[in-house]
Amino acid sequence: MLKQQQECTINVHVYDQWSGMSIQSLFRTQWLAPKKLVHQLRMEKRVSVNDSLAIWTAPLEAGDDIFITFPNELNNTIIPFKTTIQIVYEDEHLLIVNKPAGMATHVNEQNEMDTLANAVAFYLQGQNDNRKIRHIHRLDKETTGAIIFAKHALSHAILDQMLENNEIDRTYLALTDGLMKKSTFTIRAPIGRDRHHPTRRRVSETGQQAVTHCKILKTIPEKQLSFIECKLATGRTHQIRVHMAHIGFPLAGDQLYGGRPIFQRQALHARKLAFVHPFTLKRIDCTAPFLDKPYIFEPFVKR
């Protein structure tokens, strides 16, 4: 029986950029933390500076250490599932995992056990950690690559905002049917549901704004394929798949959107994540290795 998770305490160092700010302004204007969470931390006296309870309006000094203790949030919904996952990056605030093909990102049905969230729960359980599982974004079941999980309520809120504000660079690699000619281009086409199909999306004037920046890395004439890099400015469901099909170059293997069935899945991999860490202010650059065997992309790029 897993021991209950103790309250989580994090330590945030005050850098020169934050010198002179108050705890209150750090939470509200720098981190854009939810008002409800800030109120709870303040009322329950869960924030201290160095060795003293925080005075929320007092200016901070470079070199100070902030300690934040979060309420106990046990994972009572995600069943730990024993499987091996590849950790790309980890610290006390977040976890970046390399998702394999054939695995959904999160649980959609009660008692579901074979998602990445279940695997992350098992990984944390191995560290005697039974915290709530918080994914920041998603990948389609058959898409591989890097996904961010937050480890506490504050990092969850901040990373959500960063994703919404396009402050997390997401780079994908894909193989598309056909030989592209433009070296770089941007697709701006709103995406909405396809009312004729339960899971498919389509370009629609009434859909949500969607922007994909593309770069051709290589063309393979003998296989009629293009090897491309895509960067997302928005994060709509099936965005790259829909946009590439819309311009006449569906992803190879993506039969839902008209791609040739030359692979067992769509040839799409979330290769890189890059962002400035909200607590350490260091730039995080993560590259997710390819997991397929045989490797779909191996002829075109090193693992």
Distance CA 237, CA 119 (A): 23
pLDDT at 74 over 50: yes
Question: In this predicted structure, what is the pLDDT of residue 272?
Answer: 97
pLDDT tens figures, 128-181: 888 888 999 999 999 999 999 999 999 999 999 999 999 999 999 999 999 999
In sequence order, the β-bridge partners of residue 99 are: 145
| pLDDT given for residue 6 in this prediction | 59
Could you tell me the pLDDT band of residue 295, with boundaries at 50, 70 and 90? low
User: In this prediction, what percent of the chain has a pLDDT beyond 90?
Assistant: 78
Alpha-carbon distance 292 to 279, whole Å?
A: 34
User: Which residues are part of the catalytic machinery?
Assistant: 140
Same fold, 86-165+272-287 and 170-266: yes
pLDDT range class, residue 294, cuts 50, 70, 90: low
pLDDT at 222: 93
**Right CATH for 170-266 from 3.30.2350.10, 3.40.1350.10, 3.40.50.1370, 3.30.420.40:** 3.30.2350.10
Bridge partners of 214, per DSSP, are: 185, 230
* Residue 5 pLDDT greater than 60, yes or no: no
Q: What is the pTM of this model?
A: 0.91
Domain coordinates of the chain in residue numbers?
Answer: 8-70, 86-165+272-287, 170-266
**b/e map of 211-238 (b: 16 or more CB within 10 Å)?**
bbebebeebeeeeebbbbbbbbeeebbb
pLDDT at 303: 54
- Backbone φ and ψ for 266, nearest 5 degrees, come out as -65, 140
| Mean pLDDT for all residues in the chain | 92
Per-residue pLDDT at 126 exceeds 50: yes
Q: What is the pLDDT of residue 2?
A: 42
Spell out the SS3 assignment of 81-120: CCCCCEEEEECCCEEEEEECCCCCCCCCCCCCCCCHHHHH
Average of per-residue pLDDT across 262-275 = 96
Whole-angstrom distance, CA of residue 66 vs CA of residue 48: 6
Helix 153-164 × helix 35-43 angle, to 10°: 160
Nearest to 32 by CA among 156, 179, 202, 216: 156
CA distance to 48, 49, 58, 151, per residue, from 61 (Å):
14, 10, 10, 27
- Highest CATH level, class, for 86-165+272-287: alpha beta
Work out the percent of the chain whose per-residue pLDDT is above 70.
96
- CATH of the domain spanning 8-70: 3.10.290.10
| Tens of pLDDT, residues 211-238 | 999 999 999 999 999 999 999 999 899 9
